[in-house]
Structure 1
Amino acid sequence: MRFFLLLLAAASLAGCGMRGPAAYNAAGTIDPEQFMLRSSGPEATGYRIGPADKLSVTVLQVEDLSFAEIVVDASGKLQLPLLGSVQAAGLTPAELSADLQTRLGERYLRNPQVSVSVSEAASQKVIVDGAVTKPGVYVMRGRTTLLQAVAMAEGGTQIADLKKVAVFRTVEGRRMIAVFDLAAIRRGQATDPEILGDDIVVVDTSRLNARYRDILAVLPALAYFTYL
């Protein structure tokens, strides 16, 4: 059972068409800082709002219609002044912003400016596997970093190689992978990257099968994401 989740993760990657190290494309390598700026947070990844999510809604210069925190109810709706019940679940923050702007502009305000962000996603999950004490699927509430994700699994085992922690991620429908030095992150010598919903974290890349080890072997540097 220890590597069941890892096998499941590998199976989920099988559809990407990867054929060993020859599939590596240097043009697909992204600087990690730019990657994290571009893909960090629910809004950037096309996250769709769900029931029990906590949102921040700001209507520019209209405090009575702005909320630092408002919760999507079990039916997927927001209860808002003037507008009443508004469907939120299934929309991205950008789509909900546009919908609220349209509703307010049609009846109440001239050229309203509305901003919606997800302050806490209720149902985001991460798989943590490999050489950790308790491999499994964990629920993330709010912003979660790599260190925090590994801590959910009660840390690496005594034989874990913490210098090689792999993160699998889907960006715009494409699979990516990067390797991070968790030991350096703990010492404050490297940035602790944000983990997003549906990421797969594997502590100690020696636990990956040969196909993925071959891909990792040709990465130009640690902490660089590359397309699979």
Structure 2
Amino acid sequence: MVAKRAGERPAASPGGRRRGALLAAFLAAGLLPCLAPATALGAGTAAGVPDEAYLLAPGDRVTVTIFDQPDVSGTYLVEPTGTITMPLLGSVDVREMTPKGLQADLVTRFSEGYLQNPVVNVRLAELRPFTIVGGVRAPGRYAYVDGLTVETALALAGGLSRLSGDDLSQRSDFLQTDERLKALTIGYLSQLARKARLEAQLKGETEITLPRVGAPEREALEGLVEGEREILSFETVSQKRQIDLLAQQSRQLEAEIQSFEEQADLQKEQIAFIDDQIKDFQSLLVNGLTKKSAVIDLQREKSKSRSDLSRILSDLSRSRSTLAEARLKLDELDTSYRSKLMADLQDTRLRLAESESGLPLVAETRQLKLERMPGAMDSANAPLTMKISRYRAGAIDSFEAQATTVLWPGDILQVGGASGAQPASGGNDLRLPAAGTPSPAEEPAPRRESMPDRLSQR
């Protein structure tokens, strides 16, 4: 009976006196031991779960029986918030409570101005289901039954999904797709590393900036970039050696040209001096003051000087021509080097675009095949692993399980490791641009000298 206000005892009605007399008679006869004061009652549990250890959680159904209060008695579902909603009391938080603890709590609550000496009994009507995932034929949620063990749960889920018959064909198909995805991923990472190296070479840098990828691919990419660093170092050193050789040859030719020019100037001065001597001797010869042989000797000396000058001028012309060729080779060396880099970079970008358009499709195909066959990644000879995740004291506790391990309501049984429950994504961790979108690239630094407008394309 409901009191008018909290703390006030209502007057005993005739019906109440009759019920009290009937209750006293039953107690005297030993027929109603369960209707003793609530503090002496034990709350029942279903399915053989120990009451002292079992805590109520969302998904459980509890039957609350209050003597002589049919409107309040009934079966209540523990909601996701961890509460049950009862008449008079409203929302009651049952988290971290055992059925016996809830029974004592309800006695206290109803005694505070609602019912006089309430007799309450709480029992578990329906336990929350357990979940089985991983390498079983029918993963999902199942109703908890009395004495449920891991072996029984596997039987309920259709047994292990071992490969047989058509499964072998599906596994082979999956492995081929998985291998293709791995090959495409390695190819994509290789092209990323190559692109980073080519861009560094075009900028004249000696260090490669590591492209950004997902954590699973970073280690593989670092190995590929290390190989590209060796290529960068070799090609940079080789290019510099060729440039240095041509530059050294140019400097030597410039020194030779300067030497020939000085020799030519000296020969010209020598010829001019001989011409002056010839004029003087010819005047003396007219006056009979010298011999004709002296004039002839000077003319011979002049001819020899003119011959030497001609040879020097020929060497000078040849040196200038060789210098022009060396400078042209130096220019062609730089142009061909950068042209090759540009062609390789263009080819790499094309291959990257092809990988970026194909990788997501192959990764999605692999994922779909893996979802249809959760145990595809498990080795046929690998030992069976089972793990139970159990809610305890507000936290999830995970531990290894054996075939005879007893399951509790709400447990999550994972069979066959993580490959079945949460399949690996393979290439999905790659930070790929949208299909068909070209990767952004910085413009290469301008070369030192003039470059042809059109570069050879591969």
* TM-score category of the 2 structures, normalised to the smaller one: 0.3 to 0.5
Greater per-residue helix proportion:
2
Q: Which structure is larger by alpha-carbon Rg, 1 or 2?
A: 2
Greater per-residue strand proportion:
1
